[in-house]
């Protein structure tokens, strides 16, 4: 595994269409925030202190690789070009916060891309573990194991009453942020998403649209995560999120069923039009791809489209992003037209790669 693969390949194991409820839940993610006891938090640390934190973590990395049985790519933010940093953000392997000040910021990304450890982001350590479908247990177990490995070597900032100490008081306690990526075309088309967004704060959860803003939700992708971190155990926080997600999944399936029943022709038309455009268009914008791809995925999940594997979704989701394409072309000054042409080409290839015999469809 090399840096080049990390940037140029678009296969992310945690976005594969498998696992529990994968027709609605695309991926699950656990993030633990941790800080070293002796050093000031990154926002108040100077360069020498930040470099010490990084050096300490670099010292633990070989042990982590050995224990997990995977090699990690070490992405040094200072050495990456701005475009390369953007690619990692598009792949959701690092956060925008990590590259605001790239000095002494780094990320360790596992070979299967399911683990990403950010150093000197808002906290000294941000351990992120991902899994496809609705599965918060496995990532939590992995994150906790990584936390144990680090803790066995370094002193972690902890208070008996306040728990794990974090730079922002909103993460205090468990330092845990569990989030789930949802694809909700049914609820978007039947205009029911806003009620879910409005109810979630009462359950201590936050829902946000992954792409776009409040007014416009591009690609029907939503992220739901716990807001509270203190006063509950990790188990309780996850169970609360899971029960809300199960509820949303049930509503989404009901909405899809209603669409298939009452708007069958319109739905089929939308799905096949989207498929047609993605298959043959020569110029595609980023937003257009996200919107059409959502419909194609819906068509595959409803078994309207049978000749393509649902895995084309993650392939095209990442492979259709602007920074990814520019990095692939090794030209960050591509014109919009050139980018859109490359994008359309990449989308067609993506669909081609995942075409299969209709009988094979599960």
Annotated ligand binding at 79? The verdict is no
d(CA 122, CA 59): 21
For residues 23 and 221, give the distance between their C-alpha atoms in angstroms, rounded to a whole number. Answer: 13
Task: Confirm whether residue 211 is marked as ligand binding.
Answer: yes
| Number of residues that make up the chain | 362
Consult the annotation and say whether 212 binds a ligand.
yes
Q: Is 272 in the site for another protein (CB under 8 A)?
A: no
165 binds another protein per the rule CB under 8 A: yes
Output 37 or 257, the one with its CB closest to another protein. 37
The smaller minimum CB distance to another protein, of residues 211 and 232, is found at 232
Tokens linked to 44? 């108040």
194 near another protein (CB under 8 A): no
Q: Residue written as tokens 């573990």? A: 129
The answer to whether 126 is a known ligand-binding residue is yes
179 within 8 A of 234, measured Cβ to Cβ: no
Pick from 3, 74, 158, 260: which binds another protein (CB under 8 A)?
A: 158
Q: Which helix (H) or strand (E) holds 273?
A: helix 264-280
* 122-to-12, 146, 171 alpha-carbon distances in Å: 25, 19, 11
Which of the ranges 4-12, 168-176, 195-203, 299-307 carries the binding residues for another protein, by CB under 8 A?
Answer: 168-176
The rounded distance, in Å, linking the Cα atoms of 179 and 224 is 5
Question: What is the rounded CA–CA span in Å between residue 348 and residue 276?
Answer: 10
From the list 102, 131, 2, 93, the residue with the least C-alpha distance to 42 is 102
CB of 226 to another protein, least distance (A): 11
According to the binding rule CB under 8 A, does residue 155 interact with another protein?
yes
Task: Mark the segment that binds another protein (CB under 8 A) among 34-42, 58-66, 187-195, 304-312.
Answer: 34-42
Does 172 help bind another protein (rule: CB under 8 A)? Answer: yes
Among 169, 201, 276, 358, binds another protein (CB under 8 A): 169
Whole-angstrom distance, CA of residue 96 vs CA of residue 20: 29
Q: State in angstroms the smallest separation of the CB of 96 from another protein.
A: 12
Among 147, 268, 332, 338, binds another protein (CB under 8 A): 147
Q: Considering only residues 72, 164, 189, 275, which one is a binding residue for another protein as defined by CB under 8 A? A: 164
Interface with another protein, residue 156, by CB under 8 A? yes
48 belongs to an annotated ligand binding site: no
Q: Is 208 annotated as a binding residue?
A: yes
**Secondary structure of residue 249 in the 3-state scheme:** helix
Query: By C-beta, is 10 or 229 nearer to another protein?
Result: 229
Nearer to another protein, 231 or 276 (CB): 231
Is residue 163 close enough to count as binding another protein by CB under 8 A? yes
219 counts as binding another protein under rule CB under 8 A: no
Nearer to another protein, 55 or 168 (CB): 168
Between CA 146 and CA 120 the distance in angstroms is: 17
Only segment of 50-58, 142-150, 262-270, 277-285 that touches another protein (CB under 8 A): 142-150
Cα–Cα distance, 154 to 146 (Å, whole number): 12
Strand ranges inside 184-292, DSSP E:
205-209, 221-226
What are the φ/ψ torsions at residue 177 (nearest 5 degrees)?
Answer: -125, 115
Residues facing residue 181 across a β-bridge: 27, 223
Counting contacts by CB under 8 A, is residue 260 touching another protein? no
CB 162 within 8 A of CB 172: yes
Applying CB under 8 A, the site for another protein has a residue count of 42
Q: Which residues bind another protein (CB under 8 A)?
A: 35, 37, 39-41, 43-44, 122, 144, 147-148, 151-152, 155-170, 172-174, 176, 228-234, 236-237
């Amino acid at each position: 595994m090399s840096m080049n693969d990390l940037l140029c390949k678009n296969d992310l194991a945690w976005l594969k269409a498998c696992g529990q409820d994968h027709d609605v839940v695309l991926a699950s993610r656990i993030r633990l925030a941790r800080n070293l006891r002796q050093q000031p938090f990154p926002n108040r640390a100077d360069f020498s202190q930040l470099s010490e934190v990084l050096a300490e973590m670099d010292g633990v990395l070989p042990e982590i690789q050995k224990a997990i049985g995977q090699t990690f790519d070490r992405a040094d933010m200072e050495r990456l070009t701005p475009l390369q940093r953007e690619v990692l953000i598009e792949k959701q392997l690092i956060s925008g916060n990590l590259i605001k000040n790239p000095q002494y910021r780094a990320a360790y990304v596992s070979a299967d891309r399911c683990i990403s450890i950010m150093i000197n982001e808002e906290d000294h350590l941000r351990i992120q573990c991902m899994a496809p479908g609705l599965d918060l247990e496995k990532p939590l177990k992995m994150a906790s194991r990584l936390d144990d490995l680090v803790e066995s070597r370094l002193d972690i900032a902890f208070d008996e009453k306040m728990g794990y100490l974090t730079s922002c008081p909103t993460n205090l306690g468990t330092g845990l942020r569990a989030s789930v990526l949802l694809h909700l075309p049914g609820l978007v088309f039947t205009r029911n998403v806003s009620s879910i967004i409005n109810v979630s704060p009462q359950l201590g959860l936050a829902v946000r649209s992954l792409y776009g803003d409040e007014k416009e939700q591009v690609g029907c992708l939503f992220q739901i995560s716990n807001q509270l971190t203190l006063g509950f155990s990790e188990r309780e926080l996850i169970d609360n999120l899971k029960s809300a997600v199960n509820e949303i999944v049930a509503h989404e399936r009901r909405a899809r069923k209603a669409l298939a029943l009452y708007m069958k022709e319109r739905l089929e038309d939308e799905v096949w039009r989207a498929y047609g455009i993605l298959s043959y268009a020569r110029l595609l914008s980023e937003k257009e791809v996200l919107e059409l791809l959502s419909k194609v995925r819906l068509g595959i999940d409803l078994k309207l489209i049978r000749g393509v594997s649902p895995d084309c979704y993650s392939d095209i989701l990442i492979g259709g992003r602007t920074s990814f394409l520019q990095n692939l072309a090794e030209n960050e000054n591509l014109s919009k037209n050139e980018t859109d042409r490359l994008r359309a080409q990449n989308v067609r290839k993506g669909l081609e790669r995942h075409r299969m015999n209709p009988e094979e469809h599960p």
